[in-house]
């Protein structure tokens, strides 16, 4: 994870991960698969844990919202 962050902008990496998670989370919801949606939420929290460790200014609540909610 640290290597990936060193090679690019941390915020861009956060946004990419959130985008992918949001897409699969939305698919799980559309397929009425609450267990899968919940699993994706757990994965989002795992990514948030790692990103927060690598960047003390990481905005965990914003990331979780971005990974699971439709964008405004």
Tens digits of residue pLDDT in 31-44: 999 999 999 999 99
Tens digits of residue pLDDT in 1-32: 455 555 656 678 899 999 999 999 999 999 99
pTM beyond 0.85: the answer is: no
Predicted local confidence at residue 13, as pLDDT: 87
Angle in degrees, CA 62, 41, 5, rounded to 5: 55
Predicted local confidence at residue 68, as pLDDT: 92
Predicted local confidence at residue 61, as pLDDT: 95
Task: Write the CB contacts of 70 (distance below 8 Å, at least 6 apart in sequence).
Answer: 22, 26
Contact call for residues 2 and 54 (beta carbons, < 8 A): yes
């Amino acid at each position: 994870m640290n290597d990936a962050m060193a090679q690019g902008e941390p915020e861009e990496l956060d946004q990419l991960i959130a985008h992918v998670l949001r897409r699969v989370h939305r698919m799980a919801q559309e397929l009425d698969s609450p267990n899968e949606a919940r699993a994706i939420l757990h994965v989002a929290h795992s990514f948030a844990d790692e990103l927060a460790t690598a960047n003390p200014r990481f905005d965990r609540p914003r990331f979780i919202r971005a990974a699971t909610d439709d964008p405004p």
